[in-house]
Amino acid sequence: MNILHIDSAITGDASVSRQLTATITAKLQADNPDATVTYRDLAEGVPAINNDWFQAVRLSPENPTAEQQALIATSDAYLKEVQDADVLVIGLPIYNFTITAQLKNWLDQIARAGVSFRYTAEGPEGLLKGKRAIIAYTSAGTPIGSDLDFASGYLRHILGFIGITDVDFVPADRLAFDRDAGLARAHEALERIAA
């Protein structure tokens, strides 16, 4: 089993999502002693896509410049980590009712037509099939699945769009109102997740 462990919280050691992703990853490793782990901390910075990225990565020039080669290499590196993974463990802290900017940038880097998805006569088809995602959802006040939650549904949708349809959430939500209850919900969900 190859595990891709992704954090995106900007709050360092105080981050509940980081604590949960570490716990989930440790549980997977305990149940699969031969598992390998690749760690990616998106809070260290993920380049946002722009016109230069589009010209280099999406248009795939025949003779890319050195700058274009660097943009392609960065996007390819993010994508290869996902392609090589059997399980993705993703920290999803809620900032302003949605996903972090760093996580959105990462998703933009890996959602690539003809590589992670393709359009067919029947509609779009995800190409990263046979993978599982376990999402550590944390929020101060936004209940998961509520009308205020613009994160979990989006993340489930975009992962499905690229072919990852086996998605579980470990929610520690409404922590500002009752931290103990929020953490208890997360640990209950953890116990239900089969490794």
Q: What is the CATH number of the domain that holds 94?
A: 3.40.50.360
Distance in angstroms (rounded) separating the CA atoms of residues 111 and 136: 21
* pLDDT reported for residue 194: 58
Is 17 annotated in a binding site? The answer is yes
Q: What does the pLDDT read at residue 1?
A: 96
Q: Is 115 annotated as a binding residue?
A: no
pLDDT at position 21 is 97
**How would you classify residue 10: left for phi > 0, otherwise alpha for psi between -120 and 50, otherwise beta?**
alpha
Q: Residue 190's pLDDT is what?
A: 86
pLDDT the model gives residue 88:
98
Residue 15 marked in a binding site: yes
State which residues form the domain around 113. 2-192
Instruction: Give residues with Cβ within 8 angstroms of 90, minimum separation 6.
Output: 6, 8, 21, 103, 133, 134, 135, 136, 155
Per-residue pLDDT for the chain (195 aa), expressed as one digit of tens each?
999 999 999 999 999 999 999 999 999 999 999 999 999 999 999 999 999 999 999 998 999 999 999 999 999 999 999 999 999 999 999 999 999 999 999 999 999 999 999 999 999 999 999 999 999 999 999 999 999 999 999 999 999 999 999 999 999 999 999 999 988 889 888 888 754
Roughly how many angstroms between the first and final C-alpha of the chain, as a whole number? 11
Domain count, the chain: 1
The residue among 28, 34, 38, 29 whose CA lies nearest residue 7 is 38
Residue 12 region, left (φ>0) first, then alpha (ψ -120 to 50), else beta?
left
Which ranges of the chain would DSSP assign to H, the alpha helix?
16-31, 51-53, 66-84, 101-110, 152-161, 179-192
